[in-house]
Amino acid sequence: MCHIAIIGAGQLGSRHLQGLKSARLPMRIQVVDSSQAALDTARDRYEQIETNPQIHSIDYLTDMDQLDAEIDLVIIATGSKPRATILKELLSKKRVSYLLLEKVLFPDLKSYHTIHDLLQDKGLSGKTWINCTRRLFQGYQLLQKELQNYTGIITYEKNGSNWGLGCNTIHFIDHFAFLTGDTDIQPFDLSALDPEIQASKRPGYVEFTGTITSSTKRGNILHITSSSRDDVASQLIISTDQARYEINETSDTITKNGQFWGNIGMKYQSQLTGLVAEQILQQGICALPSYTESARLHLTFLQPLVKFYNNSTGKNGDNCPIT
């Protein structure tokens, strides 16, 4: 029997729980959140999904100490601020075989190195994955194969209005790294970010608008814009000297040089977590990025963002509250 725990029963945690209900594994599930209201919402969403007889029990808990002493897979779906503390407490008290973490991983720079060392110490550095889900979609896997032998410069452009540059940019950095196989990304240039820092829709966090850019040692280019105006069309464009791929995630389509190339195969989190859990618990592998790879990609954005945040606010810390 597989013992699976979800820590954090909010919007994402409840969708992970829905997704687990489709896993073809004999399971015991535990869900932890200090908020009873969040647990009630997670329970309601869980009950919306068709019954899975392989789920032997599910417990809704308000304290992490109530978790089993040994857990096969823990999904941490909290906001970024408490995540490092939760990981430290969890791994000091429980024996965990695999971890799946939400992102942004942490808002402070120190935690990336502290948690790296902790995972190594617990034998989990190769058994921890970050939930950047675009790698799981079949259309993107096929596009990655098409681009893998291309030796020229690839330009990756993400444009749109108020789509949450702070909390969502890591998705697109990871997407670029996956599609191109090029992870040697330089720290982002934030000189074209708008000076005004906005309050996030998530209390206690902030958001940004404007443009950020980076390149790799190979010469590939990333250009990411979240405009403060409301009239900038959402676009995701990948260009080479041979082709221009336009990706429309709303319509689930990819065009190449203006012609339909294929569907993306977009899925909701509630359609993915069961598949990921099966892959991890049955094979010990996962198509998502590892902690080591994702932490390195996170820092290409977070390191300059901390400096920008400090300059804008007059603070002198090593963190920027994005989640």
277-305 tens-digit pLDDT: 999 999 999 999 999 999 999 999 999 99
Q: What is the pLDDT of residues 189-198, one digit of tens each?
A: 999 999 999 9
Percent of the chain with pLDDT strictly greater than 70: 100
- Which whole number is the average pLDDT over 237-261? 97
Q: Read off the pLDDT band of 231 (50, 70, 90).
A: confident
Q: How far apart are the first and last CA of the chain?
A: 33
- Which whole number is the average pLDDT over 120-129? 98
- Which whole number is the average pLDDT over 82-93? 98
Mapping DSSP to helix (H, G, I), strand (E, B) and coil, where does residue 6 land?
A: strand
Say what the pLDDT of residue 259 is.
98
- Which whole number is the average pLDDT over 248-267? 98
Which CATH number, 1.10.357.10, 3.40.50.720, 3.40.50.300, 3.40.50.2000, labels domain 2-133+271-289? 3.40.50.720
pTM comes to 0.97
Domain ranges of the chain: 2-133+271-289, 138-265
- Backbone φ and ψ for 59, nearest 5 degrees, come out as -120, 140
Indicate the angle between helix axes 273-283 and 11-20, nearest 10 degrees.
60
Element (H, E) at 168: helix 165-180
Say what the pLDDT of residue 25 is.
95
- Which whole number is the average pLDDT over 132-146? 98
pLDDT for 57 beyond 90: yes
Say what the pLDDT of residue 34 is.
96
- The fold of the 138-265 domain, in CATH, is Dihydrodipicolinate Reductase; domain 2 (3.30.360)
Say what the pLDDT of residue 311 is.
96
- The one-letter code for the residue type at 264 is I
pLDDT for 15 beyond 90: yes
